[in-house]
Amino acid sequence: MSKKNKIQRPKARRPRGFEDKPADLLRAERRLIQAAYSVYDLYGFEPLQTPALEYADVLGKFLPDEDRPNVGVFALQDDDNQWLSLRYDLTAPLARFVAENYDGLAKPYRRYQSGSVYRNEKPGPGRYREFVQCDADSVGAASISADAEMIVIATEVMRAAGLKNGQYLVRVNNRKLLDGILESSGVPNTTEGDYQKIQVLRAIDKLDRLGPDGVKSLLGEGREDSSGDFTKGARLESSAIDAVLKFTDASSLDRSDTIMNLEKIMGISEQGKSGCEELIAIDNILNATDYGPDKVIFDTSIVRGLGYYTGPVFEAELVADIRDKKGRPVRVGSIGGGGRYDDLVSRFRGQPVPATGFSFGVSRFLSALERMNALEDISKPPVIICAFDRRLMGDYFRMAAELRAEGIRTEVFVGAGNITKQMKYADRRSSQIAILMGEDELKSGVVTLKDLYLGAEMAKAISSNEEWKSSRPAQLEVPRDNLVASVKSMLR
């Protein structure tokens, strides 16, 4: 065939910022999500599923750039020229669902959900354009007790995931406190002021990564990173910058001390006073339910980067001693968080609809658990029934059905290849047991079980192929009627 007529085949390639997930990762995700679901169910929440696509205006002004619907999110126009966007998180679709079904829902409406969300942002190491979130939200509850409950739920999810006391910490703040600081610093209550507030929030959110000096630059004119990219700053006055940095440094390990520090900083700000009062109410509930400072502290450096929060905010952080392969300490940071957002549903209905919630990134949480060696591998590889004689496939499937009925993962080899290739396949699947039965064994009422794990260990001590064939290590012939019991015994 000439080059001119050569078939042009597409190159197999994965889009940047998206990942393929193998079986082990998917099973680990499922276990973590089910652990969180068990907590949400216990607290009386109900499951919900919303579509991946929403109208862009439904997602709202809280996206990176509201004037360009396809910036920050993945967007397209449908056949009537309306912009559709892949959901940026699970909260904005929830607000749309509640507004659309408001009259038929019991309030507060308590729901939980997990699913993929999408960010049209520059991908990087550990930074994906698609990732899975797992949320719980309470819509229609104005009481600060709803926020305290969400903080408690966050700690319980940490415990359900297998973490112990001292390995995690939930850090709590209140947006009203920062609003009080900005109000006292002369940031106007206008659209321009709202933009400044968003820039301030994003700057403080980078405090753990950039430190006070980097944040100070972002609160001012801006900052150029090591790659030469320049990030425009919030352009606060120097006195406002000092006030914000002083606010982020007001925390103490004692929650009562933090509140006293904040009361001094807030002065006469009504917003600030309200924020302090809400922290006091949260502290009372936490103390009454034995969630002490070993689990929850107040931390004024926590602001959450999204602009829709209106009250208490919090983040769950791993504080365990985590090290890389070279023994160097690794800081994982926040693995989830949430807070109060009273304006999302109100956008649709024009009436106050209070809400609060908690969310965590499943992949980030799993990565942290893996670094801690805290992932439990509970998925056993399948038992492989080799197709020794293709005429006996019905018998092989009958054996598989008996094993599966007892909860044993079992696979009949349905591919192409002789016994040697089938054994290599079983090895690649990390299977412990291979089952062989030919016509002679069928007539004799027996089957052969090969313990591949034990065989691999015993093979290390065997020096020749002849010795291997004569000894047949880890191979056992058992009665066909005793197949299930024999497999269970070998698996143990």
pLDDT in tens, 28-76: 999 999 999 999 999 999 999 999 999 988 886 444 444 455 567 888 8
- Which percentage of the chain shows pLDDT scores above 70? 89
Hey, what are 231's tokens? 């990030």
**Dihedral (CA of 151, 153, 156, 158) sign:** negative
The least confident of 65-69, 117-121, 391-395 is 65-69
In sequence order, the β-bridge partners of residue 329 are 323
Vertex 134: Cα angle to 128 and 136 (nearest 5): 145
Hey, what are 327's tokens? 């023994």
Reference 428, options 413, 444, 441; nearest CA is: 413
Cβ(409)–Cβ(383) under 8 Å?
A: yes
In the chain the domains, ranked by start, together with CATH numbers, are 23-52+87-186+237-371 (3.30.930.10), 383-491 (3.40.50.800)
The overall average pLDDT reported for the chain is 86
pLDDT in tens, 376-391: 655 689 999 999 899 9
- Give me the pLDDT at residue 158, please: 94
More confident residue, 377 or 179: 179
pLDDT in tens, 213-234: 888 888 888 888 877 788 888 7
Reference 474, options 492, 491, 488, 457; nearest CA is: 457
Tokens 């691999």 correspond to: 456
More confident residue, 367 or 440: 440
- Give me the pLDDT at residue 231, please: 81
Hey, what are 399's tokens? 């054996």
Tokens 């406190």 correspond to: 177
- Give me the pLDDT at residue 177, please: 87
**Dihedral (CA of 72, 334, 353, 90) sign:** positive
pLDDT in tens, 294-311: 999 999 888 776 667 889
Hey, what are 15's tokens? 């889009």
C-alpha to C-alpha distances, 60 to 40, 93, 119, 291, 305, nearest whole angstrom: 27, 10, 15, 35, 15
